[in-house]
A and B are shown apart, each in its own frame.
Chain A
Amino acid sequence: MKDIQPRFASDVAFIAVDIGDRQDLKELHAFGQEQDYPWSVGRPGRETLKTLDVIVQSTKIAIDTDGVIVYRAGYGEGTSKDWTSVFEMLSKVTPGT
């Protein structure tokens, strides 16, 4: 993902969402810096995991500008080629315009 995301950083908000036990955002920020993540890092708000039905790590959800889920994959699902296609679709298409 580190090879793909930077190409689309200006068009697509990529966010790594920690679903572990870490609650402190400062600690999470430090972790992101340690890992040299080029993307935003955060943790789910209240009810978000339940709302989005995220029950396993490495779940990936892409949402277009109209708020429509255009891609969803679970643990071990998806390839670099898939993700590139998703990023290209999200960055090029502006539905409704």
Chain B
Amino acid sequence: MKRPRVGLLAIGLALILAAVACADGTTPHIDTAIGAKITPEIPGTSVDWPSQPSTAVTGKRCTLSGGETVESGWSGKDTGDNYCNNCFCSNGVLGCTKMACGAFIPTSHPGSNTPAPIDTSSASKPPTVGGEDHANRRVGNQVGDISPDFSILLTTGETLYSSTIRSDRTPAFLFFFSPS
């Protein structure tokens, strides 16, 4: 009669030990399995990043005149004393139109803030937008648009950014070629 009890106790102990073993040993095993599943996805995710605009990942924020901060790539009206000017944030550099805001109060002079016509025609008619105010322009690729964010890697080792053109106030003529 004692042997079966001892046997039952032994079986019971064995079950308890097995349960403890499952709790301690199986869980890490599951974690490892999950880790093994997640790890291969990381390179895939990093491969997708280059398709994102560079400014979305690394661009520095800009501070508007009113103190607000905006992401690189943002464009719109400035705030504070410079409320009437359109600005563009490019990697920490805020480029804005240069209107004197006090002279252009839309409510008191509704007609004075109308932007000059923008020439959107082709190459045969070089536009004459120089010297006019650049308010109310949008970021785009057409004549009259504020150039979107771009970069050119020069053979000198330097990089020309769209923001450089504005900050250095040096105009640029880009000629895209493909030598055979």
Contact = CB atoms under 8 A, between A and B. Distances in A.
Interface residues of A, number: 69
Interface of B is mostly: loop
B29 interface: no
Given A52-B141, A58-B177, A82-B124, A15 B151 contact: no
B170 A68 contact: no
B177 A67 contact: no
Contact of A63 (B122, B137, B174): B174
Nearest to B148: A51
Contact of B179 (A14, A31, A91): A31
B119 to A, nearest CB: 9
Given A60-B174, A93-B131, A95-B132, A45 B152 contact: yes
A73 B123 contact: yes
B171 A61 contact: no
A66 B176 contact: no
A15 to B, nearest CB: 5
Contact of B146 (A51, A54, A68): A68
Given A20-B179, A60-B174, A46 B152 contact: no
B156 A71 contact: no
B152 A48 contact: yes
Interface of A is mostly: mixed
A15 B164 CA distance: 14
A45 B150 contact: yes
Interface string B53-94: 110000000000000000000000000000000001000000
B32 interface: no
Nearest to B156: A40
Interface string B94-137: 01011000000000000000000000001110111111101001
A17 B152 contact: yes
B91 to A, nearest CB: 12
Interface string A74-97: 100111001101110111111111
A93 B175 contact: no
Nearest to A81: B126
Report the 9 A-B pairs with minimum CB-CB distance, sorted nearest first. Answer: A73-B123, A45-B151, A93-B130, A96-B98, A29-B155, A90-B171, A78-B123, A57-B178, A77-B123
